[in-house]
Amino acid sequence: MANIAIVIDNDFEDSEFEEPARCLKEAGHRLTLVGTEKGKRLTGKQGDSHPTVDCTPDDVAADDFDALLIPGGYSPDKLRTHGNIVEFVKAFHTSGKLIAAVCHGPSLLVDADAVRGHRLTSWPSIRRDLTNAGGDVVDQEVVVDGNLITSRKPDDLPAFCDAILSHLPEPG
Catalytic residue among 29, 82, 93, 103: 103
CA gap 36, 44 in Å, rounded: 15
Catalytic residue among 93, 104, 118, 161: 104
- Cα dihedral 33, 34, 39, 40, rounded to 10, equals -100
Decide if 23 is catalytic.
no
Q: List CB contacts of 113: < 8 A, sequence separation 6 or more.
A: 90, 93
2 burial class (0-12, 13-18, 19+ CB within 10 angstroms)? buried
Decide if 104 is catalytic.
yes
What is the greatest pairwise CA distance in the chain?
42
Strand ranges (E), the chain: 3-7, 30-34, 67-70, 98-102, 119-120, 136-137, 142-145, 148-151
Which residues are marked as active site?
103-104
